[in-house]
Amino acid sequence: MKERDLLNGIVLENADHVLKRLYSLDTAAFRDGGRIGAETKELVALAVSLALRCDDCVSYHLARCADLGVPTPKLAEVMGIATLIGGTITIPHARRAFAAWREMRQKEPRADFDLVLENLRGIAREGADPGSVLAAAAVLMRNSIPGYDWVGFYLSDPVTPGTLVLGPFSGEPTEHVRIGFGRGICGRAAELGRTLVVDDVSRESEYLACSPEVRSEAVVPVFTVEGAVAGELDIDSHEQAAFTPADREFLEKAAAVLSPFVAAAAEALKGGGGG
Ligand code: SME
């Protein structure tokens, strides 16, 4: 962007009236959203730039899309159509565009994680029953963090050790209500007792699909005070490689805040006959 501004300055120092008018037309065209809105304008510009194979133009409009908070699945649909219309010769440009987009998204945290953590601590302080605390925490994380499309908790079954039981969640219902330790990404994280981040679930032979839209997943085990796995926090995203190191740090802190409630909810399965 800096280079673009610098070069534009040099162009305008030398420009004749035709170039100057062209530049002001460009500025005026993007000045407001008009009838289609700023986001659609940028997506149209991105698609045209990609089909015309102008890498500089693509990276400029990608940066504008990032500023406007365009979600990755939406951007990917536009890039798909542009590549289709542009033909396979556009693919190298689409490749560079996706790499640039990924880098842009990884630089900026997807949400104000400190604020979300503060709100999670608030929910924990309210001292409601463990199930309600976990349900509220799942809704809070899903609603306040873009790309967290399914947020839920699995609890270690005290009746059948070595089994995870689906606890409170926010998102589409899943058929995976019981998962043995070692099975799927969830079962493996429980067995290993450490966080697992999977950038592309289609490459995982062990993956248990909850929805065909899911592209990446993060699973963070939650421990009892004695150090046993009490359960885990599981996040699915429709974005590929959605979970950055900042997400991982946030999720591990969130899991620590919620650990007493996960442990208590798991303990309560003894009386409730499991899931
Ligand atoms: N994908 C998980 C199963 C749980 S769903 O994502 C909610 C796995 O592979 O273990």
- Kindly give the distance from the C-alpha atom of residue 8 to the centroid of ligand 1, in angstroms, as a whole number: 49
Residue type, 183: R
| Residue to mutate, 164, 176, 243, ligand 1, most ligand atoms under 8 Å from C-beta | 176
Please tell me if the CB atom of residue 207 comes closer than 6 angstroms to any atom of ligand 1: yes
Q: Indicate the helix (H) or strand (E) that contains 165.
A: strand 163-170
Mean pLDDT, to the nearest integer, of 168-195?
97
| Adjacent-strand bridge partners of 75 | none
Orientation of helix 38-51 relative to helix 17-31, angle to 10°: 130
Using a 6 Å cutoff on CB, does residue 174 contact ligand 1?
A: yes
Q: Is the CB of 60 under 6 A from ligand 1?
A: no
Q: What pLDDT, in 10s, does the model give residues 130-176?
A: 999 999 999 999 999 999 999 999 999 999 999 999 999 999 999 99
DSSP summary character for residue 32: S
Q: Which of 166, 196, 217, 235 to mutate to test the pocket of ligand 1 (most atoms within 8 A of CB)?
A: 217
pLDDT of residue 32: 87
Q: Where are the alpha helices (DSSP H) in the chain?
A: 2-14, 17-31, 38-51, 55-67, 72-86, 91-107, 113-125, 130-144, 184-192, 245-272
Q: Is the CB of 42 under 6 A from ligand 1?
A: no
pLDDT tens-digit series, residues 77-86: 999 999 999 9
CA distances from 134 to 172, 178, 179, 260 (A): 16, 18, 19, 10
**Per-residue pLDDT for 271 more than 80?**
no
Taking a C-beta distance cutoff of 8 angstroms, is the pair 94, 83 a contact?
yes
pLDDT score recorded for residue 275:
46
Atom of ligand 1 nearest to the CA of 186: 10
Q: 38-51 vs 72-86: helix axis angle to the nearest 10?
A: 40
Dump strand ranges (E) for 191-253: 196-198, 216-223, 229-237
- Rounded average pLDDT over 229-253: 94
- The whole-number pLDDT of residue 274 equals 45
For residue 174 the two structure tokens come to: 């899943």
Residue 205, pLDDT > 90, answer: no
For residue 262 the two structure tokens come to 């996960």
Q: How many CB atoms lie within 10 A of CB 46?
A: 25
Residue 191 C-alpha to ligand 1 middle, in angstroms?
A: 14
In contact, 66 and 108? CB cutoff 8 Å: yes
Look at phi and psi of residue 188 and say left if phi exceeds 0, alpha if psi is from -120 to 50, else beta.
Answer: alpha
Three-point CA angle 42, 47, 53, nearest 5°: 120
C-beta 154 within 6 A of ligand 1: no
> Ligand 1 test: best mutation among 166, 236, 238, 243, most atoms within 8 Å of CB?
236
